[in-house]
Amino acid sequence: MARVAAIDCGTNSIRLLVADVTARDDGTAWLRDVHREMKIVRLGQGVDATGQLAPEAIARTRTALLEYATVLRRKGVERARMVATSATRDASNRDDFFSMTEEILGAPAEVITGDEEARLSYVGAVADMEPEEGPFLVSDIGGGSTELVLGSGLEMEAGRSVDVGCVRLTERCFAESTKAGTAPSAAEIDEAASIVRDALAVAFETVPVAKASTWIGVAGTITTLAAIAQDLPEYDSERIHLARMSLDQVHDVVDRLLHMSHNERMAIGSMHPGRVDVICGGAVVVRTLAEELAARASISGLVASEHDILDGIAFSLV
């Protein structure tokens, strides 16, 4: 058994998992959570428009990472791995970010490809699922990108990462309503949905979604939708993990969110304050994907998973 730490730095959040991982004789592994934590740092602030990481975004991430480094020492972590995804892949000044991570952790974060991000997300997401429910389609909707992965058991068959996520869509399409604090306009929603459909069409060229029997969604947009669907008064990861929503429920929750003002979304007890401004962008991705899957696959609903790329990173350290 090894005590490991996984850090995932995405476009919107930076997350930490400390876990004990035990290797089995059959080559698989078993993971026991010791500590999970998430902070909204919005590292990808403005990257889509400027091509650079904002200095204040790097500073926010540095503050969070210093706190995580303290946790690693206190928990007696033996091995750690930090990966950086969409925002850093696209930034021209990413060396500033990597110098900062090396200063704090003793080694720079790894920039992983979209394909590697998809593989790690898949392994983490399906670990708690029954194999007979496969083939699985895992969707990971992040701040800057969305990954689609098809596989059976722990074996990934095909995956694709596309550059649409809740932060990118918010900055591209929802700037006016975000500034005004109003619900998105029909024109904003239509523009966002069109961008998502075009991106998903590219993903579907690589990922044969028609084979999928079960759709699993990971990351903050999906888990927040699952919490709202259950009318949870506050975020409860135990009730959210493996919660199932019919496609009708998915559409209902998304429609409710898209008709809410900023203050109405802020009043949702299970909504993290850092997601209030970007949840509509993520919701459009989920709804558009639900529409496409209804037409292309025999899928009747969505399973929300709290286990994702963090768990995949932890498994990779065995």
**CA–CA gap between residue 120 and residue 114 (Å, rounded):** 10
Q: What pLDDT does residue 255 have?
A: 96
Q: What pLDDT does residue 86 have?
A: 64
pLDDT band at 145 (very low <50, low <70, confident <90, very high): confident
Answer whether 2-111 and 129-309 agree in fold.
yes
Instruction: Please write the tens of the pLDDT for every residue from 17-27.
Output: 999 988 766 65
Share of the chain above pLDDT 90, in %: 65
Q: Which CATH number fits domain 129-309: 1.10.10.10, 3.30.465.10, 3.40.109.10, 3.30.420.150?
A: 3.30.420.150
Domain range annotation of the chain: 2-111, 129-309
Average pLDDT over residues 33-50: 87
Average pLDDT over residues 77-96: 85
What angle, 0 to 180 degrees and rounded to 10, lies between the N-to-C axes of helices 166-173 and 279-296?
A: 110
Average pLDDT over residues 170-186: 94
Q: What pLDDT does residue 25 have?
A: 64
- According to CATH, the topology of domain 2-111 is Nucleotidyltransferase; domain 5 (3.30.420)
Q: What pLDDT does residue 216 have?
A: 97
Of residues 9 and 27, more confidence is placed in 9
Q: Does residue 47 have a pLDDT over 90?
A: no
- pTM, full prediction: 0.82
**CA–CA gap between residue 241 and residue 56 (Å, rounded):** 33
What's the half-sphere exposure (Cβ side, CA atoms, 13 Å) at 284? 31
Are 119 and 159 a contacting pair, CB within 8 Å? yes
3-state secondary structure of 250: helix
pLDDT band at 316 (very low <50, low <70, confident <90, very high): confident
Q: What is the DSSP letter of 185?
A: P
**CA–CA gap between residue 120 and residue 312 (Å, rounded):** 4
Q: Does residue 115 have a pLDDT over 80?
A: no
Q: What pLDDT does residue 58 have?
A: 92
**How far is C-alpha 267 from the chain's CA centre?**
23
pLDDT band at 16 (very low <50, low <70, confident <90, very high): very high
What does the mean pLDDT of the chain come to? 91
3-state secondary structure of 48: helix
Report cis status (omega within 30 of 0) of the bond before 135: yes
Instruction: Please write the tens of the pLDDT for every residue from 96-108.
Output: 989 999 999 988 8
Average pLDDT over residues 74-84: 93
Average pLDDT over residues 186-207: 96
User: Nearest-CA neighbor of 140 among 199, 218, 204?
Assistant: 218
Q: Does residue 241 have a pLDDT over 90?
A: yes
